[in-house]
Amino acid sequence: MKSVSDRRHVRAWRGAVIFCAVSVASAAMGQEATGDFRALPVVSSQHGVLETTLVAEQKEVVVDGVKIPAYVFNGEYGGPVLRLRPGDTLKLHLVNHIDQVINLHFHGSHASPLANSDNVHIAVEPGKSFDYLVKTPLSQPPGLYWYHTHIHGSAESLTSRGLSGAMIIEGLEDRVPQAKGLRQRLLVVKSYAAEAGDDPDLKRLHGVVQSINGQGHADVTAAAGSTELWRISNQSPNDYIHLSIKGLKFRIVALDGAATGNDLPVDKVDVGPAMRMELLVDMPAAGDYPLMSGSTLTGLGRNMKTSRELAVVHVTGEGAPRETPVQTRAMTTPDLRQARLTASRTLVFGQKPGEEVYTINGLVFDHMRTDLRIPLGSTEEWTIRNDTDDMHSFHIHQVHFQVVSINGEPQPFDRMLDTVRLPERGYVVVRIAFTDPLIVGRFMLHCHVLKHEDRGMMQMVEVYDPKTPAMPHPMAPHPMAPGMVMGPHDHMAP
Ligand SMILES: [Cu+2]
């Protein structure tokens, strides 16, 4: 007998198959039939529960003429989209049909890191399956999130080859009234890098295949004078994406899933690996507007360009261009600049000289070492330094944090983030409230340039309840790709 999740799974699949047929037929005409970015299968919660199956499998996908030896969920390089509301329960049956260990992390989730919730210590061996049960807290900021595998040593390759997807926590429009009733578009951005070798298509792309919803180029139609909500998730393992449309301004209404305190107008959107950005886009007068991805080499020899076109927005109709008025919103969490601090710490992101080995406070990741022990109820200030000339970012599981200053420059309280860029040879000061009892347990902080995380730039955090001195969650090894080198076990943090 098929379960509810199986039936939903089949339904989502039928939708995907029909869509593929439409896009193949319309490709000959040079235009997407839907006038949208390529549609990804969506599964939504019903009566507070989202029950679904994700099957990881190997599949060759073709993007921009390049054959990618992908690993995908449910056959979809862009990944199925999970839609649920704060308070909903995600019952996710993960099936591993690939030849490597996998698991899931729900990036930005404030859910418990224990048991079969957002627990990255789970390892699902080839041929095995696992039932996740993740209860989204009512306090989860509504917005755009994503899920991906989190295996130390293969995070980069598995994410790059496709094992990720978007997750939308419904209700952003309640925080951002201007977004009510607008046409929404989801853009799942991925980049896949490979040695070009003799492959002419890879050479043309300088070894980096960029895609939106698994497609190298899209034709999108929009109504002149309308405003749309674009939700961008950069699921690339290592690379920033810089998107712009000549003559258009974007207004940032949410970052990393959380509504911003101001609409922040920008000409170009710079979305780092793992980061999310939700934007109001005011459509101009009728015309064709290329969506450019900047600072990416394309073309050969004299035809080489530093940017590439990922889509054309065909704006039609008589509507007059307008600008959405800039609005401010009250932040829904307390300003941590006023909080009483319980501890201050310094984290130094570094690199071993001459080696592709990355460290935090001089240490390479060790899954049997707890680097930071934090009593529940703490609000801490962390100075996070990048002592290298390389790009790093700071991401911590289970919480959003407030950026207080960047290179000594005070920052306004208009956003809560789960991932922040660390300027080269610079530092960022953040404040983090470890106050929700749901987050008790052991989880990670790391650089979200996944090649750095794979090569050591990760630490283990434990939030413990001081009223329960005995550790309620025994040390569990973190799953590793074969042959991983780890740091020594003798650097136990106090
Ligand atoms: Cu890094």
How far does CA 374 lie from the centroid of its chain? 26
Among 255, 282, 316, identify where a domain stops. Answer: 316
* 428 close to 346: Cβ distance less than 8 angstroms: no
Same domain, 235 and 376: no
Looking up tokens 């960047």 gives 406
* 43 close to 8: Cβ distance less than 8 angstroms: yes
Same domain, 166 and 183: no
Q: What's the CA-to-centroid distance between 174 and ligand 1, angstroms?
A: 35
Question: Taking all residues of the chain, what is their mean pLDDT, rounded to a whole number?
Answer: 89
217 is a domain residue:
yes
Distance CA 400, CA 418 (A): 5
340 is a domain residue:
yes
Same domain, 26 and 49: yes
Q: What's the CA-to-centroid distance between 34 and ligand 1, angstroms?
A: 38
- Give the confidence band of 434 by pLDDT, cuts at 50, 70, 90: very high
CA distances (Å), origin 216, targets 5, 187, 189, 195, 404: 31, 12, 10, 18, 38
Q: What's the CA-to-centroid distance between 446 and ligand 1, angstroms?
A: 8
**pLDDT tens digit sequence for 173-194:** 999 999 999 999 999 999 999 8
Q: What's the CA-to-centroid distance between 365 and ligand 1, angstroms?
A: 13
Q: What's the CA-to-centroid distance between 452 and ligand 1, angstroms?
A: 5
Helices marked H in 403-471: 450-454
Q: What's the CA-to-centroid distance between 366 and ligand 1, angstroms?
A: 17
Tell me if the pTM is above 0.85: yes
* 462 close to 441: Cβ distance less than 8 angstroms: yes
Q: What's the CA-to-centroid distance between 445 and ligand 1, angstroms?
A: 12
Q: What's the CA-to-centroid distance between 355 and ligand 1, angstroms?
A: 14
For 336, phi then psi, to 5°, come to: -75, -5
Please report the pLDDT score of residue 471 as a whole number: 57
3-state secondary structure of 200: helix
Q: What's the CA-to-centroid distance between 364 and ligand 1, angstroms?
A: 13
Same domain, 193 and 127: no
* 218 close to 310: Cβ distance less than 8 angstroms: yes
Q: Which tokens belong to 293?
A: 């991805």
Same domain, 34 and 158: yes
Same domain, 260 and 307: yes
**pLDDT tens digit sequence for 90-115:** 999 999 999 999 999 999 999 999 99
First to last CA, the chain: 53
Q: Given a cut of 90, is residue 478 above it in pLDDT? A: no
Q: What's the CA-to-centroid distance between 392 and ligand 1, angstroms?
A: 3
322 is a domain residue:
no
3-state secondary structure of 305: strand
Q: What's the CA-to-centroid distance between 363 and ligand 1, angstroms?
A: 14
Same domain, 278 and 419: no
Question: What is the extent of the structural domain holding 249?
Answer: 178-316
3-state secondary structure of 222: strand
Q: What's the CA-to-centroid distance between 448 and ligand 1, angstroms?
A: 6
Report CA dihedral (193, 198, 204, 208) to the nearest 10 degrees.
0
Residue 42 maps to which CATH number?
2.60.40.420
Q: What's the CA-to-centroid distance between 79 and ligand 1, angstroms?
A: 25
Same domain, 187 and 155: no
Same domain, 183 and 309: yes
For 248, phi then psi, to 5°, come to: -110, 145
Distance CA 262, CA 264 (A): 6
Among 254, 286, 316, identify where a domain stops. Answer: 316
Same domain, 160 and 222: no
Please report the pLDDT score of residue 483 as a whole number: 60
3-state secondary structure of 454: helix
Distance CA 400, CA 416 (A): 6
Q: What's the CA-to-centroid distance between 424 and ligand 1, angstroms?
A: 10
Q: Which tokens belong to 165?
A: 């997807």
Q: Which tokens belong to 409?
A: 């420059």
Same domain, 243 and 350: no
Same domain, 345 and 229: no
Q: What's the CA-to-centroid distance between 351 and ligand 1, angstroms?
A: 9
Q: What's the CA-to-centroid distance between 200 and ligand 1, angstroms?
A: 31
Q: What's the CA-to-centroid distance between 417 and ligand 1, angstroms?
A: 17
**pLDDT tens digit sequence for 26-49:** 333 333 346 999 999 999 999 999
420 is a domain residue:
yes
Among 171, 201, 235, identify where a domain stops. Answer: 171
Total structural domains within the chain: 3
323 is a domain residue:
no
Distance CA 361, CA 347 (A): 6
Q: Which tokens belong to 290?
A: 């290329």
